[in-house]
Every structure is written in structure tokens, then in C-alpha cells.
Amino acid sequence: MKKSLFTLLLLMVLPLALGANPARKVTVTYDAETQKLSVTILHPVQNTEKHYISEIKVLLGDKEIETKTLTKQSSPESETYEITLPGLIKGNVVTVSAKCNQFGSKSGKLTIK
């Protein structure tokens, strides 16, 4: 009986888990001239309103600079985000994390040169 119940639960949960995927890659670039940090989050989805990047968090060192909450993804392939960060200097480390509304998260890091 326990085996049957476990199998049934597994069959119910497995399709949900297969459809959920965290971001594949977070690319972070900085243009010192415009002082803009650009983020591209590779996260292929079929339905951008049901499966999307729900949160983008920007940290400078250990300090949280901004958290952006989203309710849908801007394209089926990826999410893009841009923020002005004046005053970054050589050696500053910027970390950007992206959270999927269904499963997982991924981070990207950039050291200012």
C-alpha cells in the first residue's frame, strides 16, 4: 500500500518538476561611461506569465543595492534588466541573483576592472 501511494504521489509531482527550471545563465556587464549595469538572464520558458524570473537582486559586495520583483518575463528566452550604478571603482564586486517563480535561482558576478 505504501509503495502504491508513493508511486502515485511521484507520478503527480514529476510533471510539475519537469516543467520548472531555474535560470540557465546570468550575464552581468558594466559600462563605466554611462554607469549602467546590464543584466541578461537566460531562462527559456513556454508561458511568460506562468513561469518567469520573479526576483532580481543586485548586491555590491555584501550590501544589497536593489531588489526588483517581477510578475512575468519580458520574453520567452530571457529577462533583461538595467540599473544605473554611479561611482563603481576598480575591484568592486557586483553580484546579481535571479530567482525563478517555480524553482531555483542562479547568480552572476562581475568584478569592476
- Domain residue extents for the chain: 21-111
Instruction: Please count the helices (runs of H) and the strands (runs of E) in the chain.
Output: 1, 7
* pLDDT over threshold 80, residue 6: no
pLDDT tens-digit map of 72-103: 999 999 999 999 999 999 999 999 999 999 99
- Domain 21-111's class? mainly beta
Determine the Cα–Cα distance for residues 66 and 58; give it in Å rounded to an integer: 5
**Amino acid letter for position 88:** L
Cβ–Cβ < 8 Å for 97, 62: no
Residue 83 pairs with which residues in a beta bridge? 37
State if pTM tops 0.85: no
